[in-house]
Structure 1
Amino acid sequence: MSHQRSRSRWWRLGLGLAVAGTTGAATLAASGVPVAAAATAELPSYQVRATGVSDAQAAALAKAFGIERLSRSQDGSVRFADEKGFLDIPSITVGETGKDEDGNPTVGSVLDEEALARLRPIDADKALSLTREALTRAGLYPEQARPTVGHTTLEMVDAKGEQTVSAALDTTVSFAFNLNGVPYEGPGAKVRVGFGPDGTVTQLSYSTRVLVRGEPVRVLDTEAGRERCAKAMRGAVRIQQADYAYAAPALDAKLDRIEPSFRCSGVNVDGSAAQITFVPAAVDAELPEVTPSPVPPRRQTAALSAPGIQAYGVVDVGSEGTGPCSGLPWTGTNLASFNGQFTSRGIPVEFSWLNANAWEQDFKDPTYGGDDSNWTDHVDMTYWQGHGSPTGFSFSGCSSNDDTFLANTEARWGNGDVEWMSLFTCLVLANESGGQRWWQRWGDAFDGLHQINSFHTVSYHSASHGGTFANYMLRTPFLWWNKPMSVRKAWAQASIDDQPASVVWATMGPVGPGGLVNFDDYFWGKGSVGPDVPASSLTGWWYISGTS
C-alpha cells in the first residue's frame, strides 16, 4: 500500500477514540519526551502484524486475573466489567417513592455510610504488583509502556457545600503507550485494570495491536503542524499546540499501517476548550475536502409539545452537537451512533440537531429566555457533543440562537422531563475551576435532573462514543453477560473504551430528602430509577470521577 492510499484510508476511518496498545514486536518508549521539530525530519511508520488477542490469550487473561467468564469481542479486544463490583457505591434501597412525570415508578436508595467507611482500596504498589504478575503470566505485559495508578473517587457535599463524604472506591492501573518516544493514543491502545477493595478485578480492558517498525515518513515541523491543524478544523479553533503523536483507532478499523500524526489542541473563539483531534503529519499528506452539507430549516418535531404545553408519557431521547462548523468532523457520525442504538430498540429520538441547527436556547431554561422545555428538557436523556469549559459549552461558529454559549447559570434541568444530561464535551465537570467547585458551578442546574455525565478534563473527539454509551445502557442480556449497565457506569465504561488514560470522566447528581440518591439509575425499562429531586428539596450533591 502506498503512503498516500494509507493516509487517505486513515482519514476515512475517523477516530472512534481509544488507545491502541502493542504487544511483542513494537518498540515502545516510556519516557513520553516530545520529539523536537528542529531535530527530526522523519518519524517511523509501523506495520500492523496482528490485531487484538487470540482466544487462547483471552483465556490466559481470564485465568491470570481470576475472572470466571471473560468474553473476547470479534475485533480481538477484551472488555470486562463486574456487574456488581465495577464502580460500586454501597447503598440501601428504601422502596418505591412514587412515579415520575411520565408515570414510571421510581425506587429510592440512600448511601450505606457504614459500608462505605469499611472500604479500604488496595494501595498503588499492590495494584501494580498484581497487574504485572497477572499480565506476565498471560504473556501480555507491555514492558515498555508506562503504568499509572489511580482511584475512582466519590465526593458528597451538603446544601451549604460542606463536604460530607470523600472516599476512594477502587484502585486502577492504566497504561500510557509511546512509539519511539512519541505518544500513541486511541481506542486501539488500551490496557486498564480495576481492582475492588478486596483485590479482585472489577474491570479489565485489553485492546492492542502488534506493531513492527516500518519505513520512515517525512513529517512537517510543529509550526506547520499547527497550520495543518487549523486548516483541518476549518479555522474554528485557535490551535495552541500541535504535538507529534500516533493515533490508534479502535480495533474494528482494519488497519495495516500506523503513521505519524499531529495531536491538535486549542480553544475556540469564546475560549472554550476544543476537543482534541488528530491530523496526519506526513509532508505529502492531503486533508480531505470537506463540503458542508446543506442545513435544512429546523422543524417542530411532531412528538414534542406546542410551546407552553407539557405533554409527556413516552420514553424518548434527543441529541445535539456542533460538527464541521466548530472544527469537529465526526460529530454527525457520533450522534448517529447514539441515535441508532435507541431507534433500533423502538425508542423515539425526538430531535437530533447538528451544526447550525444546534441552538443554545434548546438547553436554556425559559426563565432566561430559552426553550429547553420543548427540546432538551422534554426528553428523558439528551446527548451533546461539542467544545466546552467548566462554566458551559459552546455553539460558536455554528449558531447564535439566542447566543453562542450555554452558561451554567442559565441551565435549570429536570423541571420538564429530562433525567440524564450527557455532555460529551471538555471540562464541564472539572472538579475545581476559577475558585469554584463542581457543585458551585452546576448545582443550581438540578431541578429534577438526576445526573450530568461529562468530563473533568479535556476530551478527545470521537465518532463512536455516543453509540458505545447507549449500547451499554440498552443491551440485552445473553447467558451470563451483556447485561445493561446503569447510566453512570455506562458513561464511565464508554469513556474508558473511547478515551486515552489521561482523560477523567465524571458524573454528578443531587441528594434529596433523607439522603435519597440516584447513583444507580438505569435507563427506563432496564432497571430501577430513582425519584426526581426538585430544587426546593435539594439537600446536597454527589460527584464521582475516574480515569479512562
Structure 2
Amino acid sequence: MSTTTRRATTWLALTGLMGAAAITGSAATATAASAELPVYGVRSAGLDPQQAAALQRAFGLKDVHLAEDGSVAFADESTYLNVPGLDKGAGKPDEDGSETTQTLLDVEALRRLTAIPVEDATKKALGTLREIGLLPDNATPTAKQTTFEIVDAYDKPVLTAPLDTAVSFAFTLGGVPLEGPGAKIRIAFDGQGAVAGLTYSTRDVVEVGTVPVLSLDEGRDRCAKALGSSVKPTGVSYVYEAPALSEKVDKLEPGFRCDGVNADGADVQSVIVGATFDTRLPGPDPVQPPRSDSAISPQWTNRIDVGSEGTGSCSGLPLTGNNLAAFNNRFTAAGVPVQFSWLNGNAWERDFKDPAFVGGQDHLYADDVDMTYWQGHGSPTGFSFAGCSNNTDTFLSNNDARWGNRDVEWMSLFTCSILKGSSGGLSWAQRWGKSFKGLHQINSFDTVSYHSGVHGGKFANYLVRTPFLWWNKPMKVRSAWAQASIDTQPAKVTWATMGPIGSGGLANFNDYFWNKGPVGPDTLPTGGFWRISGSS
C-alpha cells in the first residue's frame, strides 16, 4: 500500500468513515476537516480473449460471450432462472388480438428443487477465480439463494423453492466502496453446483495520486442540494463510481453516495455525486413542453406498444431522462411504438391511477400500453411524484392501482422497495395483490435501488434483441428485469417480480415480450400469487 493510500485510509478509520458510514445529523457524527483521497488510473478494462477462455474452462462452461468492452457473460438456457412449468396449449387471445399460451406452475417439480449451500458456492467461486488469477484483491463475496415463492389467495405460504445460489462480489478501493456496472462479478450455481449464469465486468486500476475531498458534513450539504427540497438526506458516504466498461474512463475519483427519504416517506433511489471541491452538480433535464389535461393519449389496445414516465432532476435523479430515452430508443429500434414518455412535471400520478378513483386516467396511459416503465422514488406502498407534480396528488398508492383491466401486461417499476417482503404487517402479495386485474407481472425491487441511466436500455434490449446465439436471444420478461438489475445494481440490492396465479395453477411467470416468445393470457389471482427474488 502506498503512503498516500495509507494516509487516506488512516484518516477514514480515525474519523469512523471506513466503508459506508452514515450521517444522521447528530453532533456525534461531525467529521474532521477536509482530507485527501486517492485517485485511481485505469490500466485496463475487462478481460482479454485468453482470460475469457480461462474463465470458461475453469467453470466448465460450453461458451461465454466476450463483449467488445471486455465484459464477459454466460447463461445456461436450460437452467438460468428456470421455473418449472407445464404447457397447456393455446389460451384466450389478448385484447390486441395476439395469440397466448397457457402455462401452469409445476408445483411438484418446484418442491423437488434443491440448491447448494451458500458456503459451498462461495468456496467454489473463490477457489476457481483464484486458481486462474481472476480474483481481484479488493473483492469480497456474499452468497444468497434466488427463490421462487407461492402464496395462496389468503396469503398462506404454499412453498419457497431455491432456483440457484448466487455469489456476488462487492469491491473497495482503499477501504472505500467501489460500485457500479464496471465493478461486477456474479456467479450463479444451479442445484447440482454447475454454473447457470455468470457476469464478469471489472477494471484494473492503480493509484496515481490524491485529490482533496469535502468532509462528510460538507457532503451532506452537497447531497441535500443534489436531492432537492423534497428529500431529507439520511446517509452520506464516500464511494468510487465504476461506470459500465463501455464508458472509456481513464481514472476513478471519489464521490459521495447520497441516501435519503422523501417528504412522503418514499425511499430515495441512491445517487452518487462528486466529492472533490471542483465538482459541479448535474444540470436540469431538457425541458419538455408542458402537458395539459386535453393532451390525452390515443386509446390503442389493438396494437403492441410501450410507455414510460419518471421523475428526474426535480426529485434529485439526474439520469432519469437518459434512462427513459434508452428504454424508448431500444423499443423504437425494434419497431415497437412508444405511446407516451413523460418526465418531471409532466409525469402525473393520475396516469397510473384507475378511473374508479377520483382523477384516475390510467386507461389513457399506464394501462393503455402493453408495458409501462417507471423510474423514481418508491416505497412498499407506492411511488412518489413529490417535488415534480401534483396531478392529482404526489403519491401513487397501491390502493389506487388496478392494472390490466384495459391493456397493460407488465408494469416495470424501477424504484425502491415496492416488492419488499413485508412492510407494516402486510406481505408483498397483500399490498399489491388487488392491483392485478389482468396484469401479468410487476417488476421492481425488494430493497432500495440505485439510480442508473442505463437500466432501461438494458432491460429493453434483453426483451427485444434478435435471436441468434444465446447471448442474442430474447429473455423472459422477469429474467430480463433480473439481468438488467444484476448488470446495474450493487450486490446488496434485491430485485423481484410478482404475478397472479389463476385457476389450476395458471400463471404468467414465463412470459416473453410480444412476438419474442410465448405470452400467457390475462389471469386473475383466484389461486394466489408468485414472487421471484434474488441478489444483484
Q: For this structure pair, what is the TM-score category when the shorter chain's length is used for normalisation?
A: over 0.9
Which residue matches 2:262?
268
In 2: Cα distance, 1:351 partner to 1:291 partner: 17
Instruction: Name the amino acid aligned to 1:67.
Output: L
Task: State whether structure 2 residue 78 is matched by structure 1 residue 88.
Answer: no
Provide the rounded CA distance (Å) in 1 between the counterparts of 2:336 and 2:346: 22
Cα separation, 2, equivalents of 1:338 and 1:327: 20
Q: What is the 5 A alignment of 1:5-24? A: none
State the match for 1:69 in structure 2: 63
Counterpart amino acid of residue 258 in structure 1: L
Q: Which residue of 2 aligns with 1:349?
A: 338
Greater alpha carbon shift after TM alignment, 114-123 vs 196-205 = 114-123
**Change over 3 Å in CA distance of 1:159–1:229 after alignment to 2:** same
- Where 2:172 maps in the other structure, the secondary structure is strand
Partner residue of 1:457? 447
Q: For residues 164 and 288 of structure 1, do their structure 2 counterparts lie closer, same or farther at Cα, with a shift above 3 Å needed?
A: closer
Structure 1 equivalent of residue 478 of structure 2: 488
Distance of 2:188 and 2:213 partners within structure 1 = 38
1:329 alignment counterpart = 318
Note the aligned Cα RMSD (angstroms): 1.7
Which residue number in structure 2 is paired with residue 280 of structure 1? Answer: 274
Q: Give the structure-2-normalised TM-score.
A: 0.92
Q: Is this contact kept in 1: 2:255–2:276, CA < 8 A?
A: yes
Contact 1:233 1:328 in 2 (8 A): yes
Q: Does 1:360 align with 2:354?
A: no
Aligned to 1:227: 221
Partner of 1:296: 290
**Deviation (angstroms), 1:213:** 1.3
Classify the secondary structure of the residue corresponding to 1:367.
coil
The amino acid that maps onto 2:174 is N
Q: Which residue of 2 aligns with 1:128?
A: 122
Q: Which residue of 2 aligns with 1:498?
A: 488
Amino acid at match of 1:384: W
2:410 corresponds to which residue? 420
What is the aligned counterpart of 2:395 among 405, 411, 429?
405
Bigger CA drift: 331-340 or 131-140? 131-140
The corresponding residue for 1:519 is 509
SS of alignment partner, residue 484 of structure 1: coil
Tell me, in whole angstroms, the C-alpha distance in 1 between the residues paired with 2:323 and 2:223. Answer: 21
User: Which amino acid in the other structure matches residue 156 of structure 1?
Assistant: I
Which of the numbers 342, 367, 373 marks the counterpart of 1:377? 367
**3-state SS of the aligned residue for 1:426?**
coil
Spell out the pairing of 1:117-266 with structure 2 (5 A cutoff).
117-266=111-260
Matched to 1:360, the amino acid is: E
Deviation at 1:111, TM superposition (A): 1.7
CA distance in 2, matches of 1:42, 1:475: 45
Give aligned-pair identity as a percent. Answer: 57
Give the corresponding residue for 1:3.
none
Q: How many Å separate the matches in 1 of 2:296 and 2:132?
A: 55
Structure 1 residues 292 and 91 mapped into 2: Cα distance closer, same or farther (>3 Å)?
closer
Change (3 A) 1:294 1:358: closer
Contact 2:507 2:523 in 1 (8 A): no
Query: Cα distance, 1:267 vs. partner?
Result: 1.2
Shift of 1:301: 7.0
Partner of 1:545: 533
Distance 2:471 2:107 in 1: 30
Which secondary structure does the structure 2 equivalent of 1:397 belong to? coil
Which runs of no fewer than 5 residues in structure 1 stay unpaired? 1-30, 306-310
Give, in whole Å, the separation in 2 of the partners of 1:302 and 1:399.
17
SS at match of 1:49: strand
Match of 1:440 among 427, 430, 440: 430
Q: Is the 8 A contact 2:256 2:272 kept in 1?
A: yes
Q: Is contact 1:301-1:351 (8 Å) kept?
A: no
Asked if the contact 1:317–1:382 (Cα under 8 Å) also holds between the matched residues in 2, the reply is: yes
CA-CA distance at 1:235 after TM superposition: 2.9
1:307-344 CA-partner distances (Å, limit 9, x unpaired): xxxx5210010000011111111111100000011111
Question: Residue 145 of structure 1: CA displacement?
Answer: 1.7
Contact 2:288 2:346 in 1 (8 A): no
Q: Give the Cα separation in 1 of the matches to 2:133 and 2:353.
A: 53
Provide closer, same or farther for how the CA distance between residues 473 and 300 of structure 1 changes in structure 2, counting only shifts above 3 A: farther
Bigger shift: 41-50 or 295-304?
Answer: 295-304
Query: For residues 51-70 of structure 1, what are the structure 2 equivalents within 5 Å?
Result: 51-70=45-64
Structure 1's 288 and 328: CA in aligned 2 closer, same or farther, altered over 3 A? closer
In 2, Cα distance between the equivalents of 1:204 and 1:55? Answer: 16
Q: Measured at CA, do residues 239 and 292 of structure 1 come closer, stay the same or move farther in structure 2, by a change above 3 Å?
A: farther
Greater shift, 525-534 or 441-450, is seen at: 525-534
The amino acid of 1:263's aligned partner reads: R
CA drift at 1:207: 0.4
Which protein has greater RCO, CA pairs closer than 8 Å, 6+ apart?
1
Q: Distance in 2 between matches of 1:89 and 1:289?
A: 44
Alignment partner of 2:38 out of 38, 41, 44:
44
| Partner residue, 2:308 | 319
Shift of 1:299: 7.7
Paired letter, 1:519: F
Question: What's the TM-score once normalised by structure 1's chain length?
Answer: 0.90
Q: Is the 8 A contact 1:34 1:181 kept in 2?
A: no
CA contact (8 A) 1:301 1:350 kept: no
Q: What is the rounded CA distance, in whole Å, between the counterparts of 1:346 and 1:391 in structure 2?
A: 34
**Cα offset, 1:40, TM superposition:** 6.5
Which amino acid is the alignment partner of residue 168 of structure 1? P
Amino acid at match of 1:131: A
Q: Match for 2:170: what amino acid?
A: A
When residues 180 and 442 of structure 1 are mapped into structure 2, their CA distance, relative to the original with a 3 A threshold, is same
**Equivalence for 1:395:** 385
Using the alignment, how far apart are the partners of 1:155 and 1:233 within structure 2?
Answer: 35
Greater displacement, 100-109 / 399-408: 100-109
Distance 1:479 1:183, change over 3 A: closer
Count of aligned pairs:
511
Q: Counterpart amino acid of 2:481?
A: W
1:533 to partner: Cα distance:
1.4
